[in-house]
Amino acid sequence: MAKQLAFMTFGRLLEPFGHTTVQGFVDRVPTVYAAADSLPGFVARSERSLDDYSHSWGPIVAPQCWGGEVDSHVASTLSVWESLESVAAFAYHGAHGEAMKLRKEWFQQPGLPEQVAWWIEEGEAPTWQEAAIRMDRLHDHGPTPEAFNLKQAFDSEGKPYRLDNTAVRDIAQNHK
């Protein structure tokens, strides 16, 4: 069976949702989600209600390295992708790439992992609990085939993998 990439992002806002300091981030959420949803290689994501903060794949679980608590400062995503290049095209280009350039205006910068990836079986849904455990593993042990980031990635067979930057750019440019 084919593998797909589970990908979680996690961060703590400087102020809680609803505060004017982070409104620029909140205002971008629908555009960023729409960009992900339409990008080649995107499979699925846990969808969040901006009204009550609930997620379609269950409640967010905060990694212990981030304090282990979820509150109104937490911004997190959990998604599934066909390839590392697809998620990199999304993360570093387009609407999300633009938001990444501004993240210091909205997010705390504690030097903790902000993303974690791991391979799952096609059709499998990742859980927030598993994602938190994987991020803690990345924090405690560095990148391994069980928990890695886009800078030090592994392929679906557990071998070190270097992103194909040409493919990343092609995916991003052909999606505009």
User: Mean per-residue pLDDT for 109-123?
Assistant: 96
DSSP assignment of 120-174, as one string?
EETTPPP-HHHHHHHHHHHHHH-SBTTBB-SSSEE-TTS-EE---HHHHHHHHHH
Q: Which two tokens stand for residue 55?
A: 């997620």
Q: What order do you get walking across the sheet with 42-45 strand by strand?
A: 42-45, 74-81, 3-12, 115-121
Residue 104 · residue 21 · CB < 8 Å: no
Query: Percent of the chain having pLDDT more than 90?
Result: 81
Mention every residue, 6+ apart, whose C-beta is less than 8 A from residue 68: 62
| CATH 3.30.70.100 corresponds to the domain 3-175 | yes
Residue 172 to residues 4, 123, 155, 169: CA-CA distances in angstroms? 19, 25, 21, 5
pLDDT exceeds cutoff 70 at 63: yes
Task: Match 């903790």 to its residue by tokens.
Answer: 112
Measured CA to CA, the distance from residue 49 to residue 54 in angstroms comes to: 5
Q: Which of 7-16, 41-50, 51-60, 82-91 has the least mean pLDDT?
A: 51-60
User: Mean per-residue pLDDT for 23-49?
Assistant: 91
**pLDDT at residue 1, as a whole number:** 72
pTM here is 0.93
SS3 78: strand
